[in-house]
Amino acid sequence: MQNLVKEFIEKKLNTTNIVLEKPKDISLGHYATPIAFSLAKELKKSPMAIAEELANELANPNMFEKVEAVKGFINFKLSSTFLQILVDNALSNKEEFAKQEKKDEKILLEFVSANPTGPLHIGHARGAIAGDSLARVGKYLGYDITTEYYINDAGAQMDLLGLSVSLAARDFIFKEDVTYPETYYRGEYLIDIANVVIEKFGKDIIYDESKYKEIAFFSKDLVMEIIIKDLKDLGIEFDNFVSEKSLYSFWDSTKEVLDKNSALYEKDDKVYLKSTQYGDDSDRVVVRDNGIPTYLAGDIIYHKNKYDRKYDRYINIWGADHHGYISRVKAAIEYLGNDSSKLEVILSQMVQLLKGGEPYKMSKRAGNVILMSDITEEIGADALRFIFLTRKSDTHLEFDIDMLKNQDSSNPIFYINYAHARINQVFKKAEVTLDDIKDVDFSNLNQDGLNLVYESLLLESILTEAFAKRDMQKITEYLYSLASSVHKFYNEHKVIGSDEQSVYLKVLAIAALSINVGLGLLGITAKEQM
Residue 477 sits in a domain whose CATH number is 1.10.730.10
Same domain, 73 and 160: no
More confident residue, 408 or 252: 252
Same domain, 418 and 510: yes
First to last CA, the chain: 32
**pLDDT at site 363:** 67
In this model, does residue 23 exceed pLDDT 90?
no
Mean pLDDT of the 55-71 span: 91
Q: Has residue 32 been placed in a domain?
A: yes
User: What percent of the chain stands above pLDDT 70?
Assistant: 99
pLDDT in tens, 112-134: 999 999 999 998 999 999 999 99
User: What percent of the chain stands above pLDDT 90?
Assistant: 82
Mean pLDDT of the 278-295 span: 93
Spatial strand order of the sheet with 144-151 comes to 240-243, 144-151, 106-110, 313-319, 343-348
What's the whole-number average pLDDT of the chain?
A: 94
Q: Has residue 23 been placed in a domain?
A: yes
In this model, does residue 493 exceed pLDDT 70?
yes
Q: Would you say 2 and 98 are in contact if contact means Cβ atoms under 8 Å apart?
A: no
Same domain, 517 and 417: yes
CATH code of the domain containing 18: 3.30.1360.70
**Burial class of 168 by CB neighbour count within 10 A (0 to 12, 13 to 18, 19+):** buried
For residue 522, give the amino acid letter. Answer: L
Q: Has residue 84 been placed in a domain?
A: no
**pLDDT at site 427:** 96
**pLDDT at site 166:** 97
pLDDT in tens, 325-347: 999 999 999 999 999 999 999 99
Name the range with the highest mean pLDDT among 23-32, 307-316, 364-373, 376-385: 307-316
For residue 306, give the amino acid letter. Answer: K
Same domain, 63 and 161: no
Mean pLDDT of the 187-201 span: 95
Mean pLDDT of the 272-283 span: 94
Same domain, 509 and 419: yes
Domain count, the chain: 3
Listing DSSP states for 393-439 in one string gives: TTS-EEEEGGGGG--STTSHHHHHHHHHHHHHHHHHHHT--HHHHTT
From 171, 203, 233, the end of a domain falls on 233
Same domain, 510 and 416: yes
**pLDDT at site 155:** 83
Distance CA(385)–CA(233), nearest Å, equals 11
In this model, does residue 240 exceed pLDDT 90?
yes
Range name among 166-170, 197-201, 356-360 with the lowest pLDDT average: 356-360
**pLDDT at site 386:** 96
Range name among 35-49, 142-156, 280-294, 363-377 with the lowest pLDDT average: 363-377
**pLDDT at site 224:** 97
Domain with 480 in it: 412-521
In this model, does residue 281 exceed pLDDT 80?
yes
Q: Has residue 181 been placed in a domain?
A: yes
In this model, does residue 201 exceed pLDDT 70?
yes
Mean pLDDT of the 300-312 span: 97
Number of H helices, E strands in the chain: 20, 14
If pLDDT is split at 50, 70 and 90, which confidence band does 138 have?
very high
Mean pLDDT of the 469-486 span: 97
Q: Has residue 477 been placed in a domain?
A: yes
If pLDDT is split at 50, 70 and 90, which confidence band does 69 have?
very high
**pLDDT at site 367:** 63
**pLDDT at site 84:** 96
Q: Where are the alpha helices (DSSP H) in 141-269?
A: 156-168, 188-201, 212-233, 244-247, 251-260
Same domain, 74 and 170: no
Mean pLDDT of the 307-320 span: 96
From 233, 251, 284, the end of a domain falls on 233
Q: Has residue 450 been placed in a domain?
A: yes
**pLDDT at site 362:** 72
Mean pLDDT of the 444-458 span: 95
From 78, 95, 116, the end of a domain falls on 78
Q: Has residue 266 been placed in a domain?
A: no
Q: Has residue 262 been placed in a domain?
A: no
Contact residues for 16 (Cβ-Cβ < 8 A; gap 6+) = 10
**pLDDT at site 490:** 96
pLDDT in tens, 25-41: 888 899 999 999 988 88
In this model, does residue 431 exceed pLDDT 90?
yes
If pLDDT is split at 50, 70 and 90, which confidence band does 13 have?
confident
**pLDDT at site 407:** 86
If pLDDT is split at 50, 70 and 90, which confidence band does 16 have?
confident
